[in-house]
Chains A and B, each alone.
Chain A
Amino acid sequence: MATAEKETVIYAKINEEVIQSLERPTWRYWLLIGSLLGVIGLGALAYFYQVMVGMGVANINHPVGWGVYIVNFVFWVGIAHSGTLISAILYLFRVRWRTAIYRAAEAMTVFAVMTAGLFPLIHLGRVWVMYWLLPYPNTRHLWPNFKSPLVWDVVAVTTYFTVSFLFFYLGLIPDIAAVRDRSTGLRRQIYGALALGWQNRYEQWRHYARAYVALACLATPLVISVHSVVSWDFAMSILPGWHTTIFPPYFVAGAIHSGLAMVITLLVPIRVWLRLQRLVTLEHFENMAKMLIFTGLIMTYSYATEAFTSYYSGNHFETSFSTWRATGTYAPLFWGMVVCNCLAPMLLFWKRVRTSIPWLLAISIAINIGMWLERFVLIVTSTAHDFLPSSWGTYTPSPVEIIITIASFAWFAFLFLLFAKHLPAVAISEMKEQVAE
């Protein structure tokens, strides 16, 4: 009985600790929200300028038709992946340390996909006919070309968003109910509606448990498939640097690398701000840092393999392209990417580094930058330097593209901030469950 006493006391503490983070925000929060909205507004203005004036205001043109917009798309879809990794795959493997951080990671997934999903639309010359991407009977008697990787992308990203959102929401239901039971007034009505009348009843739990496992099983293959599909956008073409079979695993590893770094970048400030230090501990960061070493090594191996296959292929276009990538116009970006993605994570081999929050934050930000550079280098260099020397060119983003890119980060931060302040950022009922075990 004594231990049982303790158990429910811990329950109450966890409940208290998480729900206190949802208390009325301070002016600093509103200031932050306001400034983020300002940046988003700027991005929206830039975008409307692009719609009114035309795609010419973006620097994408021949030969580089895929610029920063597509870079951002691939980057953000990649960020999403580690959220699903942590919430679904680590769940199925019963990794205990996942519980405290998975909610935040999952939210990151949903918001990253919401950010990523904007970019193909921003990239469209005529957004108003974007519904042409959907299969529906139309006056053209045309259907989407299901043999095209771009259409697979639409299907894959829609599925990914839907499934990760459902998974995220499913996990939230009991926790929103806990918040509902501790609040009053309008707040109670809103959380009450969101909790879908959850009553913690056995009749609900027994189906809930099944649904949760089912969704975890369904989300797991998506971690691998979605970025593989994104990589096919490139690998299915014939350009040197793109046309390789290594792309899908390489993209997935990169996605998880960047995503883990993003989780760390987000959790460091959030846990201080919401005073969750007792639930999200150094141990969690250390575990993620270890995973970063692993993915960092995979990235290094992939870069090496990529260079090797192009050399070993004996194909003149491939070899000269790889040489150009490492020595030509974009060489600084290329080497920046190698330093940030391969060398920086290696510092985490030292326990001193991986248990120091400032170091971790610095390294994770470096990896974020590195992964963005990687996407830029991958996407831009191949189109800039294809088979015909006469069609070589370079590309630098225009102000409109840069503003929209910055705004996308603000949009993501905005969504995440709203989530952290208004929804339980740590999985209450699962934390309790872990205590019970």
Chain B
Amino acid sequence: MTPTRPDNEAAPGPAGECPAPPRTGHWQLCAEFDSAEALHHAVLQVRDAGAREYEVCSPVLTHESLEAHMPRAGSRLHYISAFGGITGVSVGLAMCVLSSLLYGLWTGGKPPVNLVPFVVVGFECTILFAALFTVAGLVYFARLKPLAPPPDYRPGFSNDRYGLYVQCEPARKPAVAELLRAAGATEVIDCDAA
């Protein structure tokens, strides 16, 4: 196969986390596949052809074996969860301690600041904040918003189809489309026309 470069820029570095994925509407071609294997195969082809930006759609959680071949892998979301948890425990305990100090009374036979009962509140706040931060982080990272998906989205991707979006120079579109078809795409769509 002739090496086709979907975009003109330098060859990609190793797969790693880069700060922000390109926004939607950046894709030139979208290929549909009817099996995970075909998709996997096509991803390898596109990558070997030197594509820097490509994106996969899948009706199920994408398989780990695919991650190694994608421009970005993994997620840093758990740091946000952990940060939320730490914030939560601090807020919870601080709320208890400070508010008890504000009216320093002995209640239930316990001095105003008594850590044992506050552990319960601290614990619950940890969970609450961690969960809220996680979801907020997801909304941010996965760019969730209550809008319709972009026009180049294919409804089959939530049913039984896999998809591969590729970024390429307009001039090279036919060549890349050919490559995708050769890799087993059942359909190749021009995103700019969608």
A and B touch in the complex (CB under 8 A): yes
Using a CB–CB distance below 8 Å, which chain A residues touch chain B? Answer: 1, 4-5, 7-9, 11-12, 15, 135, 141-148, 151-152, 155-156, 158-159, 162-163, 166-167, 170, 173-174, 177-178, 180-182, 189, 192-194, 196-211, 214-215, 218-219, 221-222, 225, 229, 429-430, 432-433, 436
| Contact residue among A11, A141, A162, A193 (Cβ-Cβ distance under 8 Å from B160) | A11
| Inter-chain contact A143/B142, CB cutoff 8 Å | no
Chain B nearest CB: distance from A137 CB in Å? 9
Given contacts A196-B146, A429-B61, contact A135 B131 (CB under 8 A): no
Which residue of A has the minimal Cβ distance to B22? A203
> Among B21, B102, B103, which residue has its beta carbon within 8 angstroms of that of A203?
B21
B75 within 8 A of A: yes
Contact with A197, one of B38, B141, B146, B159 (Cβ below 8 angstroms): B146
Name which of B1-9, B112-120, B173-181 contacts chain A: B112-120
Q: List the A side residues contacting B63 at CB < 8 Å.
A: 436
In the bound complex, how far is the Cα of B59 from the Cα of A181, in angstroms?
12
Q: Is the CB of A159 within 8 A of B78?
A: no
Contact status B107-A204, CB under 8 Å:
no
Q: A141-B102, A147-B117, A207-B138 are in contact. Are A163 and B131 (CB under 8 A)?
A: yes
In the complex formed, the residue of B with least CB distance to A142 is: B103
Q: Which of A11, A155, A182, A209 contacts B59 (CB 8 A)?
A: A11
Known A196-B145, A197-B147; contact A4-B37, beta-carbon cutoff 8 A: yes
Q: Is A193 within 8 A of B117, CB to CB?
A: no
Given contacts A1-B37, A158-B128, are A12 and B160 in contact (CB under 8 A)?
A: yes
Min Cβ gap A50→B in Å is 30
Interface residues of B in 16-32 (CB under 8 A from A): 21, 24
For the complex, give the distance between the alpha carbons of A9 and B107 in Å.
Answer: 65
**Interface pair A148/B108, CB less than 8 Å apart:** yes
Task: Kindly list chain A residues whose C-beta atoms are within 8 Å of the C-beta of B38.
Answer: 4
Shortest Cβ gap from B173 to chain A (Å): 21
Residues of the A chain whose Cβ atoms lie less than 8 Å from the Cβ of B160: 8-9, 11-12, 15
- How many chain-B residues does the 8 Å CB contact rule pick out? 73
Please give, as numbers and ranges, the residues of chain A lying within 8 Å of B147 by CB-CB distance. Answer: 192-193, 197
B120 with A215: CB separation less than 8 A? no
* Cβ A208 vs Cβ B60 within 8 A: no
A277 to B72 CA separation, bound complex (whole angstroms) = 40
Q: Please indicate the chain A residues that have their CB under 8 angstroms from the CB of B163 in the complex.
A: 200
Using a CB–CB cutoff of 8 Å, the interface residues on chain B facing chain A are 21, 24, 34-38, 55-63, 66-67, 70, 72-75, 77-78, 81, 92, 95-96, 99-100, 102-103, 107-108, 110, 114, 117-118, 120-121, 123-125, 127-128, 130-132, 134-135, 137-139, 141-150, 153, 155-161, 163
Instruction: Name the prevailing secondary structure of the A interface residues.
Output: helix
Instruction: For A147, list chain B residues within 8 Å (CB).
Output: 100, 107-108, 110, 114, 117-118
Known: A8-B160, A197-B149. 7 other contacts (CB 8 A): A147-B108, A155-B125, A158-B128, A170-B135, A197-B147, A203-B142, A218-B127
Bound together, the chains give a CA A432 to CA B60 distance in angstroms of 6
Q: B residues within 8 A CB of A180?
A: 158
Q: Which residues of B have CB within 8 Å of A433? A: 60-61
Interchain CB contact under 8 A, B75 and A166:
no
Q: Once bound together, how far apart are the Cα atoms of A225 and B122, in whole Å?
A: 12
A-B contact pairs, 18 of them (CB 8 A): A1-B35, A8-B160, A12-B159, A148-B107, A152-B121, A155-B125, A162-B131, A166-B131, A193-B146, A194-B146, A197-B144, A201-B57, A202-B70, A205-B61, A206-B67, A206-B74, A209-B75, A429-B158
